[in-house]
């Protein structure tokens, strides 16, 4: 008989959280701390969503999305998780760019970028300073029609080198392009520039395990291998229950951390929404997906410090189509040294490229395997210039594709960073359509990435609190 992953679960909870990505985990934690009964349902056998890791023979542990996040993560983790988690966040100081236009190393801070753009690219200080101030002052309520392309042309007309330096890391970090609203760029870029790029010392496994302990301390009922099939509504379009692993569990509210479009079209069904909302939701574009190549070195075998993050490109300028192309010319290498996981003797490298789902979706199995192998080989060819003799030093290599991301997180088309900008409004207005149904998770570029997902989980859990305990009920 198959195992009952819901054994002992209650028949009703105040809140059911669907999905254990960083937004789902954080939302569950905040609500449990406020005293609500919370059931967290995750279809995978591991918590974390895209914030995940896997182990391989020989003691290798690979992180999937632990490449870098802004300093704001320290404050969010201290406030909404634990001091212990916040205290393990450390700065990555070696960010490198290697491309036909320039070769440089930076701490990825405003101070260092200003120095580089003025001294190496010859742009007047006043222009750079004004650009930073403009980006910093951008917020969600600003004009959304100006694109990032227009923002760059305003400050650095015709300077494809400066534009590349400013845009390439952000395109990797959240899939945004020059045609997305400038505010999405300004907000994310300024978050990074305030103090540089940070990581979690100990690896994603340590982080997610600490989060799990905290959730348990706060009384969250955590269930893995639980795939939610349906969100049930009452006659007034209020959430009533979720259907999961053949069971029906009732609740006062649902926080869906599943992909926005899956939540609307698969878990609820478009017949339950206003027509205009359905049209708006259908028009939401998914963000791109990714390919990765994971390389583990033999125990104790290392390499000279190559930096922490290396943006490598053979392409002549910044070009999103080229970045997404299956014919890879741009890669981001993350170098993991033993200090990343104190006590470890492993050097690891993860190469990431942005990718289109359509390039991988329908390949016959044999071709799919051959293309993955080819991706591994071309990655090693490229990496050899930074880590000479990589093939002899290596002990493990494998690749993931948009199909892999879709399989493990159930994101439509394996979207790595949720949806494009228009997804934010559709996500935020979901409760106006269905009483008690909320969405938190990567959307709209701004609410994507580790920090965006955590913060969105907090914002939405506060909305759920207001729904469950209206302020007039407290008096
Ligand atoms: C290759 C790659 C590299 C990245 N690098 C970085 C980086 O360096 N820095 C950074 O800040 N961000 C990075 N990101 C992005 C970041 O990882 C994500 O934006 C963030 O982790 C997403 O969190 P989320 O809350 O939106 O949920 P997700 O991580 O998308 O998780 C959603 C969860 O819901 C579950 N789920 C879905 N449907 C159901 C269902 N029906 N029933 C039960 N469970 C369900 C899924 O299994 C999953 O666990 C990267 C992403 C990728 C793919």
Tokens of 129: 């300073």
> Which residues are paired to 12 by β-bridges?
250
Task: Return the closest-CA partner of residue 440 out of 426, 175, 252.
Answer: 426
The percentage of residues in the chain with a pLDDT greater than 90, rounded to a whole number, is 90
44 lines ligand 1 (CB under 6 A): yes
d(CA 433, CA 270): 11
Q: How confident is the model at residue 245 (pLDDT cuts 50, 70, 90)?
A: very high
Residue 369, Cα to own-chain centre: how many angstroms? Answer: 26
Q: How far is the CA of 290 from the centre of ligand 1 (A)?
A: 12
Interval 207-222: pLDDT, tens: 999 999 999 999 999 9
Q: How far apart are CA 37 and CA 9, in angstroms?
A: 12
β pairing state of 60-63 and 309-313: unpaired
Flag whether pLDDT at 1 surpasses 70: no
Question: Over 90: is that where the pLDDT of 142 sits?
Answer: no
SS3 of residue 277 by DSSP: helix
CA of 51 to the centre of ligand 1 (A): 6
Domain map (residue ranges) of the chain: 12-45+224-284+419-474, 53-91+198-204+288-409, 109-195
Q: Whose CA is nearest to atom 48 of ligand 1?
A: 49
- Three-class secondary structure of residue 6 per DSSP: coil
pLDDT band at 474 (very low <50, low <70, confident <90, very high): low
The DSSP letter of residue 51 is: S
The model's pTM: 0.96
CB of 292 within 6 A of ligand 1: the answer is: yes
- pLDDT for res 473: 60
Q: Cβ(76)–Cβ(254) under 8 Å?
A: no
Sheet holding 330-336, edge to edge: 103-106, 95-98, 309-313, 330-336, 348-355, 289-297, 394-400
Closest ligand 1 atom to residue 448 Cα is 19
Provide the pLDDT for residue 10.
Answer: 98
202: left (phi over 0), alpha (psi -120 to 50) or beta: left
Closest ligand 1 atom to 41 CA:
43
Distance (Å) of CA 200 to CA 124, 150, 195, 339, 341:
36, 35, 15, 11, 9
Q: Does ligand 1 come within 6 angstroms of the Cβ of 17?
A: no
- Parallel, antiparallel or unpaired: strands 60-63 and 53-56: antiparallel
How high is the pLDDT of residue 454?
Answer: 98
Residue 202 in contact with ligand 1 by CB distance below 6 A? no
Report yes or no: 89 and 200 within 8 Å, Cβ to Cβ.
yes
Atom index in ligand 1 nearest the CA of residue 414 equals: 53
Convert the pLDDT of each residue in 155-203 to its tens digit: 999 999 999 999 999 998 888 899 999 999 999 999 999 899 999 999 9
- At the top level of CATH, the class of 53-91+198-204+288-409 is alpha beta
User: Considering the chain, what is the average pLDDT of its residues?
Assistant: 95
Question: How many Cβ atoms are within 10 Å of 300's Cβ, its own excluded?
Answer: 9
User: For ligand 1, is residue 42 a contact (CB within 6 Å)?
Assistant: yes
Confirm or reject: Cβ of 49 under 6 Å from ligand 1: yes
Ligand 1 pocket test: pick from 16, 19, 352 the residue with the most ligand atoms within 8 Å of its Cβ. 19
Cα 54 to ligand 1 centre (Å): 15
What pLDDT is stored for residue 29 in this prediction? 98
The rounded Å distance from CA 195 to ligand 1 centre is: 24
Q: Is 68 in the pocket of ligand 1 (CB under 6 A)?
A: yes
Spacing, Cα 300 to ligand 1 middle (Å): 32
Q: From ligand 1's centre to the CA of 456, what distance in Å? A: 13
The two three-digit tokens of residue 473, written as one number: 């009920």
Ligand 1: nearest atom to the Cα of 417: 19
| CATH fit for domain 12-45+224-284+419-474, picks 3.90.105.10, 3.50.50.60, 3.40.50.2300, 3.20.20.150 | 3.50.50.60
Please say whether the beta carbons of 458 and 433 come within 8 A: no
CA angle in degrees (0–180, nearest 5) for 193-195-199: 105
- 460 versus 1: which is more confidently predicted? 460
CA of residue 115 to ligand 1 center, whole Å:
35
* CB 18 near ligand 1, within 6 Å: yes
Interval 269-289: pLDDT, tens = 999 999 999 999 999 999 999
| Tens-place pLDDT, residues 95-141 | 999 999 999 999 999 999 999 999 999 999 999 999 999 999 998 77
Distance 53 CA to ligand 1 centre (A): 12
Mean pLDDT calculated for residue range 338-342: 91
């Amino acid at each position: 008989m198959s195992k009952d992953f819901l054994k002992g679960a209650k028949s009703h909870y105040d809140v059911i959280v669907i999905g254990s990505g960083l937004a789902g985990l954080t939302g569950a934690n905040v609500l449990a701390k406020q005293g609500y009964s919370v059931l967290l349902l995750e279809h995978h056998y591991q918590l974390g969503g895209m914030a995940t890791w896997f182990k391989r023979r020989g003691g290798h542990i690979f992180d999937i999305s632990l490449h870098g996040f802004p300093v704001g993560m320290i404050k969010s983790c201290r406030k909404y998780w634990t001091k212990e988690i916040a205290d393990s966040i450390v700065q990555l100081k070696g960010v490198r760019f290697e491309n036909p236009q320039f070769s440089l190393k930076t701490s990825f801070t405003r101070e260092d970028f200003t120095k580089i753009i003025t001294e190496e690219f010859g742009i007047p200080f006043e222009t750079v300073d004004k650009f930073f101030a403009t980006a910093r002052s951008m917020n969600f309520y600003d004009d959304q029609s100006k694109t990032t392309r227009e923002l760059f042309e305003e400050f650095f007309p015709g300077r494809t080198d400066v534009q590349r330096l400013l845009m390439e890391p952000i395109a990797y970090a959240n899939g945004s392009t020059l045609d997305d609203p400038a505010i999405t760029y300004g907000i994310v870029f300024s978050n990074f520039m305030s103090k540089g790029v940070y990581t979690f010392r100990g690896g994603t496994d340590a982080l997610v395990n600490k989060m799990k302990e905290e959730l348990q301390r706060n009384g969250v009922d955590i269930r893995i291998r639980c795939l939610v099939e349906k969100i049930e509504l009452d006659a007034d379009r209020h959430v009533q229950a979720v259907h999961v692993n053949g069971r029906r569990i009732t609740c006062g509210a649902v926080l869906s951390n599943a992909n926005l479009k899956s939540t609307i079209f698969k878990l609820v069904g478009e017949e339950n929404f206003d027509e205009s909302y359905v049209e708006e939701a259908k028009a939401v574009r998914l963000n791109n997906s990714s390919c990765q190549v994971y390389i583990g070195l033999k125990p104790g075998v290392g390499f000279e410090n190559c930096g922490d993050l290396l943006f490598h490109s053979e392409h002549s300028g910044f070009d999103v189509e080229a970045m997404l192309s299956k014919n890879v010319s741009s890669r981001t290498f993350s170098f993991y040294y033993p200090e990343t996981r104190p006590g470890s003797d492993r050097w690891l490298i993860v190469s990431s490229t942005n990718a289109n789902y359509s390039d991988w979706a329908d390949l016959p199995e044999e071709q799919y395997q051959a293309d993955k192998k080819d991706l591994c080989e071309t990655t090693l060819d490229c990496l050899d210039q930074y880590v000479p003799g990589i093939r002899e030093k290596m002990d493990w290599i494998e690749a993931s594709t948009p199909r892999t991301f879709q399989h493990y997180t159930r994101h439509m088309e394996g979207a790595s960073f949720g949806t494009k900008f228009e997804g934010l409004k559709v996500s935020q207005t979901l409760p106006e359509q269905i009483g008690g149904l909320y969405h938190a998770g990567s959307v709209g570029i701004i609410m994507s990435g580790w920090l965006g997902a955590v913060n969105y989980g907090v914002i939405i859990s506060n909305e759920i609190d207001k729904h469950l305990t209206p302020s007039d009920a407290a008096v």
